[in-house]
Structure 1
Amino acid sequence: MTTTSTDSTPSVPAPPAPAPIRAPGRLLPTDPVLRLLTWITVANALGNGLFFTISALYFTRILGYGVAQVGVVLTVAGLCGVLASIPAGRAADRWGSKRVVIVLVAVEAVGSTGYPLLHGLPAFVLLSCVVTALDRGVATARSALYAEVLPSEQRVAGRAYLRAVTNVAMGLGGILAGLTLQADTRFAYNLTVLANAVSYGLVALGMLRVPSRPAAAAPSVARTRAERRNPALRDLPFLAITGLSAVLTLQFAMLEVGVPLWIVRDTHAPRVMVAVSMTINTALVVLFQVRATRGTEQPGRAARVCLRGGLLLAAGCLLFGLAHGLSPLLATVVLTLALVVEAGGEVLTQAGTWALSYDLAGDRAVGAYQGVFNAGTAATLMVGPALITLGVVGHGMLGWLGFGLLFAVAGVALVPVSRWAQRRAALA
């Protein structure tokens, strides 16, 4: 593991601030690799924005599956995604993250073309599981790829920049998908699904131009049993960080599921606030995600960034709860403030947990560590909607306070756990 000293060690100077991602007045990054990854991200996010916007209606109205069936299938597919993350990370270490990304995303492109051909529920289950597993595998290998091809002092800021690009491109994809929703024909839906598949093909082609790095793992004939074991699964501090980061990831289910239901069911705010909430969040993430990475150069500092983010998320939960029972105008004001505070917590926790996942990873097993970390994230994304609906919706202020406390505890706990991880790293 890396041997970064704790912040309390006076003999270790603070690392220099990373160079800016973009030159003043420029939209694209100065680093050529990050610039290439930007265009790849645009293609991928546009396709995802198209598909995610129409998927629920496509599965129910066009393919004819019931709402309950779709929910169960997507939950099972999410579990497959969780299970795929860890082996994908190990594969990235053994065969190279670039190669794994290209293979998985190319297969995903082919698999995505199968949706218009589906007949019967078993086929829907099988295809959804395969595509979701491939997608989570790609996400894991891509995270390892960022660690390989981006300068170490810019990998977190670079990933933040790509997240901002993702939000913009997905928003554009959602707008384009509105044309499909307006047409509301089988041909239009199928064309949109195929456009998403084409975007995966473009990602695979773009990845061919990304600089290659040799795989770190030794040949299988020379590997001992201990070397074949996943080091991340034996790293207790890293597993604790993964679990706490996964708790903070519940914020996405809160925003996507809990907040819309709360606005419509339990406040007097106009329903248009549901759409406004996503717009506010997207805009603030685009504007501030890269800035939020400042100060995450060392694990101790990154953990404190997570602490501040967790407390902001808790404050956002309190504000959401306070919107209940207010007049439409006051509820709108309080909800807007809550959304701003929540977005601040989001960009800080994302920046801090990314930095921890990279800095505390093993030098020769980045894929393994990213696989375990992404498995925790995928598990939260799978169970998050159910936890939010059961724990917040219908429980009023008590539910929001409970989730706020959960975010605060996770943020606070990351500080001592990161120190534990650094002590373990120093002894390794």
Structure 2
Amino acid sequence: MSTDLALWARLRDVLLLQRRETRLLLASVTADSFGTGIFTATSVLFFTTVRGFSVSAVGLAISLGSLCAFFLGPRIGALADRVGPQKSLIVLFGVRAVGYGLYLLAEQYWLFVVLACVVTTADRASPAINQALMGRLFEAKDRATILGTVFSARNGAIVLGSLAATLPVVTGSSALYLVGIGVNAASFIVAALLVARLQVPEAEPAATGRDKERRGGASPLHDRRYLAITVVNGVAQTHNTILSLVLPLWIVHATSSPKWSLTALLALNGALAMAAQVPVNRMFADFSAALRASALGGAAVCAACLAYAGAGAVGDAWVALAVLVVAMLAHTAGESLFIASTPLSFELAPKESLGRYLSFYNLGRVGQDLVGPLLIVGPLVDRGTPIWLLVGVVVLLGGLAPWALLKDDALAANGRSTR
């Protein structure tokens, strides 16, 4: 018993759980992500089978929503810098609660499109504002740990939400689909109430003109370093497109691996990502280490692409499965390493403009959502090995780019930031 208590005490200290703001933040993220897990697993089926929209019509609405998020995200970030990340995040949670709740009434396609634009914009803006809030709550020395803890909590809650969505998916019950949509909407109300209880320090005074010049200007558009890591973030997010869109088609249609291996591999990814993120983040906690994490992440995803291509060339089902397991291990390692490079987006941003800069950085993810499916999914599934090799090399070069560009930067020379 004493050993268990000592282990729990050690874990609590490592994960910063002794701090009230950590517990509230994790509870908020868990509520948000649980609802998201339910919605992600059921949304396409709900809109196509219950509402009767075509798959292409649903895809068009989601694409329009991503386009809105691409243009409005930085403006929401700039607004968050003025009114504060806590208030901004509460408003975004409110918008998401109302928007997803109105999906219950969206029987006309035009209303569905309007709501998709609203909720997708709020969805895509929220992570950057949440990170800006973490930047206000936690010092640089704790930032890698809290980012890893939040990502782990998010992964775990999404998995639980996906499992909860099994019932409506299996039964096809319209009523259960509606319940799932309602639970997702309610989850944002819970998240908003938890964030409202946080005691957030006041923002530090704005940087001087000289400090702004050193950091590359007041706008990320004028900062070549920040533009570079934003583009790299978009390239790095290729691993998400592969995981969510390419693998289901590749495993079922291009490999001899058993069809059940898809869900097993996705479960393996979720479990490993949840377990590994905190220790990986702690290993790459400072600026120079985050540069190495980006480079290693690119190498790992490149290795995964090579293994995925190899799985398509294997005739035996069990050998193909074994190759896919190796690919997923490399894929998960790359995913965790790229997440561990996230502190770069904090360290290169002026603290008084954190919301604007992080929202701009998040455009990499939004851009991948917009163009990734078009540029990657069809070519990978149709042409196989040559495109896998090309994608692997592109991600490898993208991961190496921050290290090549910033390894001699003053922040890298100084090691851990004290901001």
Establish whether TM, by shorter chain, passes 0.5: yes
1:237-276 map, 5 Å: 237-276=225-264
Residue range with higher mean Cα deviation, 28-37 or 253-262? 28-37
Gaps of 5+ in 1: 1-20, 219-228
Q: 2:346 aligns with which of 355, 358, 365?
A: 358
Which residue of 1 is the match for residue 10 of structure 2? Answer: 24
CA 1:240–1:32 in structure 2 vs 1: closer, same or farther (change >3 Å)? same
1:363-378 map, 5 Å: 363-378=351-366
Secondary structure in structure 2 of the residue aligned to 1:323: helix
Which residue of 2 is the match for residue 304 of structure 1? Answer: 292
**CA distance, structure 1, for counterparts of residue 182 and residue 62 of structure 2:** 20
Shift of 1:425: 11
1:327-379 deviations in whole A, cap 9, x for unaligned?
A: 10110100001100111111011111x11001111122111110110122111
Which residue of 2 is the match for residue 412 of structure 1? Answer: 400
Secondary structure in structure 2 of the residue aligned to 1:211: coil
Secondary structure in structure 2 of the residue aligned to 1:188: helix
- Give the letter for the 1:150 counterpart: F
Q: 1:341 aligns with which of 330, 333, 336?
A: 330
Aligned residues: 395
CA 1:61–1:395 in structure 2 vs 1: closer, same or farther (change >3 Å)? same
1:99-248 map, 5 Å: 99-215=87-203, 231-248=219-236
Q: 1:65 aligns with which of 29, 47, 53?
A: 53
Secondary structure in structure 1 of the residue aligned to 2:140: coil
CA 1:239–1:31 in structure 2 vs 1: closer, same or farther (change >3 Å)? same
Which residue of 2 is the match for residue 330 of structure 1? Answer: 319
**CA distance, structure 1, for counterparts of residue 83 and residue 337 of structure 2:** 33
CA 1:81–1:125 in structure 2 vs 1: closer, same or farther (change >3 Å)? same
Shift of 1:121: 1.7
**Is the CA contact 1:263–1:271 (under 8 Å) kept in the aligned structure 2?**
yes
Which residue of 1 is the match for residue 25 of structure 2? Answer: 37
**CA distance, structure 2, for counterparts of residue 414 and residue 424 of structure 1:** 11
When you count helix as a share of all residues, which structure comes out higher?
2
Shift of 1:194: 0.9
Shift of 1:212: 2.1
Q: CA RMSD in A?
A: 2.1
CA 1:69–1:363 in structure 2 vs 1: closer, same or farther (change >3 Å)? same
**CA distance, structure 2, for counterparts of residue 379 and residue 412 of structure 1:** 20
Secondary structure in structure 2 of the residue aligned to 1:119: coil
Shift of 1:31: 2.4
**Is the CA contact 1:22–1:30 (under 8 Å) kept in the aligned structure 2?**
no
Which residue of 1 is the match for residue 417 of structure 2? Answer: none
Shift of 1:403: 0.7
Gaps of 5+ in 2: 1-6, 207-216, 415-419
1:60-113 deviations in whole A, cap 9, x for unaligned?
A: 011110111111111111111222220121111111000100112112211211
CA 1:118–1:369 in structure 2 vs 1: closer, same or farther (change >3 Å)? same
Which segments of structure 1 move beyond 6 Å, counting only runs of 4 or more? 423-426
TM-score calculated relative to the size of structure 1: 0.88
Shift of 1:420: 6.6
CA 1:215–1:276 in structure 2 vs 1: closer, same or farther (change >3 Å)? same
Matched, 1:383 2:349: no
1:94-153 deviations in whole A, cap 9, x for unaligned?
A: 110001001121122112111111132211111100111112222221111011112321
**Is the CA contact 1:93–1:216 (under 8 Å) kept in the aligned structure 2?**
no
TM-score calculated relative to the size of structure 2: 0.90
**CA distance, structure 2, for counterparts of residue 344 and residue 239 of structure 1:** 25
